[in-house]
Amino acid sequence: MTQLTANKSSSGPKMSRRNFLKLGAAALGALAVLEITAAGLIFLEPRSLEGEFGGVVTAGPADSFPPGSITEFPAGRFFLIRAEDGGFLAVYRRCTHLGCSVSWHPDQNQFVCPCHGSHFDDVGNVVNPPAPRALDTFNIIIEEGIVKVDTSKPRTRDEFEASQLVYA
């Protein structure tokens, strides 16, 4: 009886399918960890807030807002109110009940919260609860006829007062 022996190649050990799949899974896992780490660092990085919510938003020239108008600034999350006497008021779009976004309904002349039915008048006072107080406001700066709204810190209030209006 002759015995056949297999010649082993001298090119080195072959990688088995199992080891190849383990190596591929490890590489993909390392890539996923790297991407998650990069996304986390980007999230934690401070960003410039000029013109965005949490910073100073340039609304535009004071003359471009007619008296009695209400203009929404979605990126700034506020409404700019121009009172009949020419004063400006910036109200936060966030309902004081549970924080839902209110919308302006010109046909009703009210801000309406879709979550629980709170209604606010044209200066942000509560007309229909459950909201406990008027809409919050933001500071307004008027420089050289340009209206700017500082959305970095909302101011709470119980109700509208004429002293809250800012004039150009």
Judgement on whether residues 119 and 81 belong to the same structural domain of the protein: yes
DSSP string computed for the chain: -----PPPPTT-PPPPHHHHHHHHHHHHHHHHHHHHHHHHHHHHS----TTSTTSEEEEEEGGGS-TTEEEEETTTTEEEEE-TTS-EEEEESB-TTT-PBPEEETTTTEEE-TTT--EE-TTS-EEESS--SPPPEEEEEEETTEEEEEEEEEE--SS--GGG-B--
Using left for φ > 0, alpha for ψ between -120 and 50, and beta otherwise, residue 158 falls in: alpha
Residue 153, domain CATH: 2.102.10.10
Q: Report the candidate in 116, 94, 119 with the shortest Cα–Cα distance to residue 105.
A: 119
Q: Rounded to the nearest 5 degrees, what angle is found at the Cα of 23, between the Cα atoms of 20 and 27?
A: 140
Q: Please give the pLDDT value at position 15.
A: 85
| pLDDT digit string (tens) for the chain, length 168 residues | 555 555 555 566 788 999 999 999 999 999 999 999 988 888 887 655 455 567 899 999 999 999 999 999 998 899 999 999 999 999 999 999 988 999 999 999 999 999 988 999 999 999 999 999 999 999 999 999 999 999 989 999 999 998 999 998
65, 147 contact by CB (below 8 A): yes
Q: Are residues 133 and 90 in the same domain?
A: yes
Is 4 within a domain? no
pTM, 2 dp: 0.68
In a domain, residue 51? The reply is no
Q: Which domain holds residue 133?
A: 56-164
Residues 99 and 157 in one domain: yes
Q: How many domains does the chain have?
A: 2
